């Protein structure tokens, strides 16, 4: 079931962090991901999913074949960071090709009116504009993501619901209107983390109640990348085209 897949339920080679790695994970989780960055409900959300995020670190350790180095990995380690938009083919959460109407394969400028109704949010047109709408993105060898939910950066969200096609299987609709409009967080927390790893495929769509000047849905979670990839600043660097040895491809 989309957005309720626990790390334990996902068939994946997984290793256990050793004592030194676990100490690094716990320290970073507490100091950098919780107390310095977030307050109140955000802290609670992250702690509710800590075990699943920890399990995702074990999946990453097995997938990358190197040790865990926290926020400052060396050349023979992998690190962790809060999930960035470029990990999903986007330049940033406020400027997405699919979120501005979902009818074009090219990035649209802020202010372009997104249509009401069903729109594509995440699909492979974010990687290559010539592809057909609904072509899935594929997660490559150099990334593991533990996503705890979806938020919206706009002040007055109009997105009513989301739906994912995960590994080719259409998932149940996730209703977001109540969480986005009746909460100051504008956030839909998943029951359990959505874990994206090597060869996982996904397509996300949303349904908007009405048109708005722009929409800015975002994934909130923790991502693990090897030393080389976690240093990338330019969003285009994560786009692997058709290459499996990448962060994301098609």
Tell me what pLDDT residue 1 has.
36
Give the three-class secondary structure for 186.
coil
Inform me whether the pLDDT recorded for 108 exceeds 60: no
Residue boundaries of the structural domains of the chain: 7-249
Tell me what pLDDT residue 100 has.
42
């927390």: which residue's tokens?
A: 189
Neighbours of 220 (CB within 10 A): 19
Segment 20-31 mean pLDDT = 91
Distance set, CA 10 to CA 71, 138, 205, 245 (Å): 26, 16, 23, 22
Q: What is the pTM of this model?
A: 0.86
Q: Quick: pLDDT tens for 186-240.
A: 999 999 999 999 999 999 998 888 766 567 899 999 999 999 999 999 988 999 9
Distance CA 220, CA 83 (A): 6
Tell me what pLDDT residue 184 has.
84
Question: Residue 132 — pLDDT band, cuts 50, 70, 90?
Answer: confident
Q: Quick: pLDDT tens for 39-50.
A: 678 888 888 999
Q: What angle do CA 73, 79, 80 make, to 5 degrees?
A: 145
% of the chain beyond a pLDDT of 90: 59
Mean residue pLDDT of the chain comes to: 84
Tokens representing 143? 């990334």
Tell me what pLDDT residue 114 has.
55
């Amino acid at each position: 079931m989309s957005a309720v897949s626990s790390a334990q339920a996902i068939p994946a080679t997984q290793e256990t962090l050793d004592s030194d790695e676990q100490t690094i994970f716990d320290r970073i989780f507490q100091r950098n991901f919780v107390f310095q960055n977030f307050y109140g409900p955000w802290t609670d959300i992250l702690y509710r999913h800590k075990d699943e995020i920890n399990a995702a670190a074990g999946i990453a350790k097995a997938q990358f074949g190197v040790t865990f180095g926290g926020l400052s990995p060396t050349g023979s380690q992998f690190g962790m960071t809060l999930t960035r938009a470029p990990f999903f083919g986007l330049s940033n959460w406020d400027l997405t090709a699919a979120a501005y109407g979902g009818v074009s394969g090219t990035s649209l400028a802020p202010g372009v009116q997104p249509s009401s109704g069903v729109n594509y949010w995440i699909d492979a047109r974010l990687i290559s504009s010539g592809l057909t709408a609904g072509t899935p993105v594929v997660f490559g060898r150099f990334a593991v993501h533990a996503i705890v939910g979806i938020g919206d950066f706009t002040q007055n969200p109009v997105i009513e619901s989301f739906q994912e096609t995960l590994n080719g299987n259409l998932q149940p609709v996730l209703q977001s209107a109540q969480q986005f409009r009746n909460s100051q967080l504008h956030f839909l927390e998943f029951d359990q983390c959505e874990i994206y790893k090597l060869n996982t495929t996904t397509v996300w769509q949303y349904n908007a109640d009405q048109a708005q000047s722009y929409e800015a849905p975002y994934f909130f979670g923790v991502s693990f990348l090897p030393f080389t990839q976690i240093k990338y600043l330019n969003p285009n660097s994560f786009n692997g085209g058709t290459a499996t040895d990448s962060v994301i491809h098609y």
